[in-house]
Amino acid sequence: MALTREQMAQRVAQELQDGFYVNLGIGIPTLVANYVPSNMEVMLQSENGLLGMGEFPTEDTIDADMINAGKQTVTTVKGASIFSSAESFAMIRGGHVDLTVLGAFEVDVNGNIASWMIPNKLIKGMGGAMDLVAGADNIIVTMTHASKHGESKLLSECALPLTGKGCIKKVLTDLAWLEIENGAFVLKERAPGVTVEEIIEKTQGKLIVPDHVPEMTFA
Amino acid sequence: MAGFDKVVGSYEEAMAGLEDGMTVLAGGFGLCGIPENLINEIKRKGTTGLTFVSNNCGVDGFGLGVLLEDKQICKMVSSYVGENALFEKQLLSGELEVELTPQGTLAEKMRAGGAGIPAFYTATGVGTPVAEGKETKLFNGREYLLEEAITGDFAIVKGWKADRYGNVVYRHTAQNFNPLAATAGKITVVEVEEIVEVGELDPAHIHTPGIYVDRVIVGHFEKRIEKRTVKEA
């Protein structure tokens, strides 16, 4: 069975480490915050200028001046800090964020990522995505393995305009955990019940399949 | 005005000197921390052919979106737009030009503009449509793009509190692009919720020192929320 969005978030959360500063993109990445292990301290960075993002407010504590990068009203945790957008992107560009999780339309064997622009459709903009992928060393891309029509999103070369070049090393899809090494996807784990054959069939770019591909485990 | 006193008494005075064809830098992220009354004054004034440098362009009927109604904006330099139907319409008809700029690059362009740095290198955008026509250079084996700084004829800024000398503090994440825009305007206008006595703000806690600020005005703010999210009780 393909992973649900919640299971994808759970799998990403297994990559968290105590003391990590983490930037979570919109969509599935946002759900990762729900699976931070209770014995671990993690600080969430929001690129509009907040380190230490907390949960949503109550009706009583809602504040128009307190939002996240998705423009949602939020709160801060104890020990949070707030700063300008230039300071925020200095943290990101300067490589100070330990883990960045974001979605994409396509990823290819050379670590290129396309996530912001589909030609001939309305282009809203890249927001902070280009800065995030250029600045971070440790990025996890979360996406479905193939489109609804079965077209692979793991390609030999991205067809859409790029968000960043050569910057992606880890991809979690609804079918598999893959890492990008030496111009190929390496199949590291498969979703419970998903066969290696199905992953091979739905991966267009070069795929290296080790002799043993373990199933993901969830606590 | 006398000495360092930057306070003006009317919005008309606050935006005096804004002319057709000028470039305006605006603080704000989404609808958070936007200089909503200064924007409304530009609408009232009817200035046209304006270029706005702002992360977003408001929504239909609020924020910079109101300046689209009478086609006062000819160009936006932004990282994310299109939260309003009118914007999309004018973009498709060619009445409005957009220069999409990565958010961190946009912030740094303003910071550099205010700091007297004409351009800087960044890895952001290498190999993407943003890199088209830009100079690149290798540093330690990695490719970087040369991005030019931005300054404006005006900067319009939303602060929380200011003193008469133009020292400003921002509230929570309404800070965002505001302190950057404040440094990079030939004329920087700050509207705030409260004007306090000189000496009342802790000198070590001032976000924007008064040297960057030309005019201060106190206003009332709607502070519309774009995405109201609350936790389940």
Cα–Cα separations (whole angstroms), residue B221 to B12, B35, B115, B129, B218: 17, 9, 30, 38, 10
Please indicate if any CB of chain A lies within 8 Å of the CB of B34: no
Under a CB-based contact definition with an 8 Å cutoff, are residues A70 and A44 in contact? no
CA distance B193 to B181: 18
Catalytic choice (A6, A15, A41, A47): A47
Cα A33 to the chain's mean position, in Å? 12
pLDDT for the residue numbered A94: 96
Q: Which amino acid is at B17?
A: G
B188 in contact with chain A, both atoms CB, cutoff 8 A: no
Chain CA centroid to CA A141, Å: 4
Of A47, A65, A161, the CB nearest to B174: A65
Q: For residue A92, which phi and psi values (nearest 5 degrees)?
A: -70, -55
> CB contact, 8 Å: A72 with chain B?
yes
Task: Evaluate whether B157 touches B123 at the Cβ level (below 8 Å).
Answer: no
Residue B91 is given by DSSP the state: H
3-state DSSP assignment of residue B168: strand
Bridge partners, A42 (sequence order): A20
pLDDT of residue A120: 84
Length of chain A: 219
Nearby residues of A85 by Cβ (< 8 Å), 6 or more positions away: A47, A48, A49, B29, B55, B103, B104, B106, B107, B176, B177, B180
pLDDT in tens, A37-86: 999 999 999 999 999 999 999 999 999 999 999 999 999 999 999 999 99
Query: Which chain B residues in 103-122 lie under 8 Å from chain A, judged by CB atoms?
Result: 103-108, 110-111, 122
Alpha carbon distance B31, B64 (integer Å): 9
pLDDT at A123: 84
Q: Averaged over A124-145, what is the pLDDT? A: 95
DSSP assignment letter at B199: T
Round to whole Å and give the CA distance between B123 and B136: 9
The answer, for A74 touching chain B at a CB cutoff of 8 Å, is yes
For residue range B55-87, list pLDDT tens digits in order.
999 999 999 999 999 999 999 999 999 788 898
pLDDT range class, residue A27, cuts 50, 70, 90: confident
Question: Among A30, A45, A47, A67, which would you mutate to test the B interface (most chain B Cβ atoms within 10 Å of its Cβ)?
Answer: A67
Sequence length of chain B is: 233
Query: Does residue A48 contact residue B173 with C-beta atoms inside 8 Å?
Result: yes
* Chain A neighbors of B78, CB-CB under 8 A: 125
A201, pLDDT greater than 60: yes
Residue among B218, B161, B176 nearest B34 (CA): B176
Does residue B141 sit at the A interface (CB-CB below 8 Å)?
no
Provide the residue-wise pLDDT of chain B in tens; the chain has 233 residues.
478 999 999 999 999 999 999 999 999 999 999 999 999 999 999 999 999 999 999 999 999 999 999 999 999 999 999 788 898 889 889 999 999 999 999 999 999 999 999 999 999 999 999 999 999 999 999 999 999 999 999 999 999 999 999 999 999 999 999 999 999 999 999 999 999 999 999 999 999 999 999 999 999 999 999 999 999 86
Residue A192 pLDDT > 80, yes or no? Answer: yes
Helix (H/G/I), strand (E/B), else coil: A80: strand
CA distance A133 to A163: 8
| pLDDT score of A140 more than 50 | yes
Query: What local confidence, expressed as pLDDT, does residue B1 receive?
Result: 47
Q: How far is CA B211 from the centre of its chain?
A: 18
Two structure tokens written together for B110: 């303003």
Is residue A47 part of the annotated active site? The answer reads: yes
SS3 A172: strand
| Chain A nearest CA to B26, separation (Å) | 13
Instruction: Report pLDDT digits (tens) over B80-115.
Output: 997 888 988 898 899 999 999 999 999 999 999 999
Q: Which chain A residues have a beta carbon less than 8 Å from that of B104?
A: 47, 85-86, 88-89, 92-93, 128, 130-131, 135
Residue A93 has pLDDT above 60, yes or no: yes
Q: Under DSSP, is residue B185 helix (H, G, I), strand (E, B) or coil? A: strand
The residue type at A28: I
Residue B152 one-letter amino acid:
G
